[in-house]
């Protein structure tokens, strides 16, 4: 929590701040997400990018505006050499650029995929965008090649620090069910409409960080009942691939920087035990900071506070010496004892500083473990506390629009005990 550092002239001003913060969270008009697709027929078949845009609209997400350069049979090498994709890439700032290699090319020779993906990624970074790697499915007659494609794309993503959109693994999981649906066109190469719908659901899960479950099946020519299986698989596979490793394994110094009294035990639980004289929240070097910086991310962790406990999860911190003004905080506190129906404030667990209260009190009592998930994707931050969405705010809302768009992640040392475990962060 950072409110103790605010010097507000009156309670009226505090009330106004909370009121307008709530308006920002609930009534802020959503902007647009701009995506460029660079690929081939696996992308354009059945107008898959349009399906994704329709899913986004149906899900109440930011409007998806897209362009594409997707001629049939095209490889990343050919895209680079003919220059059309590069011209579109350099024409504006893109939020995301999807690059899709020919599904057979890396099985024969993976070097060109790595070489030209790196070239495109460098240009995407120059434009301030984010690279998404379309992990495709193999030919219908060679499902065993999925493992090879997955490994190659994961290795490439690690080199580029990019995100994999696991369309192929979602296909494999759906094909492994008791009554697998047909996802291929008659040629055994391209997706049929249902296959493209599954791909769109995977992209929806990856870009927005939200489950597509409950969205209309008719977008993919399916009944809503039929679509539920596709949606559930898309969300599960995306979550499994994005989860990553527990950042509290091994020595604490492997992934974290701090001068505070944070200790990691044999059970991989990190505990903050403030030393004598360590009070308040302005000892910024004592915070527990991840070494890596993030823009879009999904962070999931468990926390436990004592009675009266207070801390916070920071993200997009541009200056670790001034996180309260150069970053965004999600509140962690002992707030379960709020009376039913009581008006919540940013000080309650799941609140966002500056000035946005959670929509509900989902915190567990002091001394119990809470699970929090913070998803920052497609221009929005979503906070899920113990399985309930408690905040969903556009990053260009009135109180957040001037905060950095990328930066460090960390946990606050407020001079009060705090325990954390199972910290997973993915891009």
Exposure string for 394-419, b = 16+ CB within 10 A, e = fewer: bbbbebbeebbeebbbbbbbbbbebb
- Please, where are the H alpha helices in 46-95? 48-58, 76-82, 84-89
**pLDDT higher than 90, residue 270:** yes
The string of DSSP codes covering 129-191 is -EEEEE-----TT-GGGHHHHHHHHHHHHHHHT-EEE-HHHHHHHHHTSSSPPP-B-TTSSSB
Which candidate, 181, 177, 236, places its Cα nearest to that of 206? Answer: 236
Per-residue pLDDT of 147-206, as tens digits, reads: 999 999 999 998 998 999 999 999 999 999 888 999 999 999 999 999 999 999 999 999
| Cα distance between residue 379 and residue 394, in whole Å | 6
When pLDDT is averaged across residues 80-94 and rounded to a whole number, the result is 96
**Reported pTM:** 0.80
Phi, psi of 236 (to 5 degrees): -65, -50
Going by pLDDT thresholds of 50, 70 and 90, the confidence category of residue 3 is: very low
- Exposed, middle or buried, 91 (CB in 10 Å: 0-12/13-18/19+)? exposed
Per-residue pLDDT of 95-110, as tens digits, reads: 999 999 999 999 999 9
Question: Per the structure block, which two tokens stand in for 185?
Answer: 């066109």
CB 378 within 8 A of CB 61: yes
Phi, psi of 356 (to 5 degrees): -125, 115
| Cα distance between residue 122 and residue 81, in whole Å | 15
| Mean pLDDT, the chain, whole residue set | 90
Ranking 42-56, 95-109, 237-251 by mean pLDDT, the lowest is: 237-251
CB 105 within 8 A of CB 112: yes
| Cα distance between residue 380 and residue 295, in whole Å | 11
Per-residue pLDDT of 354-385, as tens digits, reads: 989 999 999 999 999 999 999 999 899 999 99
| Cα distance between residue 129 and residue 121, in whole Å | 9
Compute and round to an integer the Cα radius of gyration of the chain: 23
| Cα distance between residue 397 and residue 62, in whole Å | 13
When pLDDT is averaged across residues 77-105 and rounded to a whole number, the result is 96
Which candidate, 36, 50, 143, 59, places its Cα nearest to that of 380? Answer: 59
The domains located in the chain, with CATH, are: 29-243 (3.40.50.1110), 246-426 (2.60.120.560)
Which candidate, 311, 288, 304, 301, places its Cα nearest to that of 408? Answer: 288
């Amino acid at each position: 929590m950072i409110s103790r550092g605010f010097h507000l002239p009156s309670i009226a001003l505090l009330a106004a701040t909370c009121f307008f913060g709530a308006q920002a969270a609930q009534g802020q008009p959503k902007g647009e997400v701009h995506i460029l697709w660079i690929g081939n027929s696996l992308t354009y078949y059945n107008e898959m990018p349009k399906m994704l845009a329709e899913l986004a609209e149906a899900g109440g997400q930011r409007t998806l505006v897209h362009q594409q350069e997707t001629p049939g049979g095209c490889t990343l090498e050919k895209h680079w050499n003919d220059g059309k994709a590069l011209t579109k890439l350099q024409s504006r700032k893109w939020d995301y650029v999807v690059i899709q290699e020919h599904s057979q090319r890396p099985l024969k020779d993976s070097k060109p995929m790595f070489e030209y993906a790196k070239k495109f990624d460098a240009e995407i970074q120059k434009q301030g965008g984010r690279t998404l790697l379309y992990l495709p499915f193999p030919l219908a007659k060679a499902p065993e090649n999925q493992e090879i494609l997955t490994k190659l794309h994961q290795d490439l993503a690690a080199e580029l620090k990019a995100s994999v959109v696991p369309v192929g693994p979602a296909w494999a999981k759906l094909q492994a069910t008791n009554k697998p649906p047909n996802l291929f066109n008659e040629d055994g190469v391209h997706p049929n409409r249902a296959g493209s719908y599954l791909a769109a659901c995977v992209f929806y899960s990856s870009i927005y960080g939200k489950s597509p479950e409950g969205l209309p099946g008719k977008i993919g020519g399916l009944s809503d009942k039929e679509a539920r299986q596709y949606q559930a698989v898309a969300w599960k596979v995306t979550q499994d691939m994005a989860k990553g490793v527990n950042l509290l394994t091994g020595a604490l110094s492997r992934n974290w920087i701090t001068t505070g009294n944070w200790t990691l035990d044999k059970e991989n639980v990190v505990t903050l035990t403030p030393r004598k004289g360590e009070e308040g929240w302005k000892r910024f070097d004592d915070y527990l900071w991840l070494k890596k910086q993030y823009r879009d991310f999904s962070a999931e962790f468990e926390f436990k506070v004592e009675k009266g406990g207070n801390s916070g999860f920071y993200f997009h911190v541009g200056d670790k010496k001034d996180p309260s003004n150069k970053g965004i905080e999600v509140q962690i506190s002992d707030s379960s004892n709020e009376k039913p129906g009581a008006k919540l404030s940013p000080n309650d667990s799941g609140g966002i500083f500056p000035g946005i209260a959670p929509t509900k009190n989902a915190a567990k009592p002091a001394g119990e473990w809470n699970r929090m998930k913070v998803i920052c994707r497609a221009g929005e931050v979503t906070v899920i506390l113990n399985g309930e969405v408690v905040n969903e705010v556009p990053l260009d809302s009135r109180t957040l629009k001037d905060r950095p768009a990328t930066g460090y992640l960390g946990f606050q040392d407020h001079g009060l005990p705090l325990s954390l475990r199972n910290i997973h962060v993915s891009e």
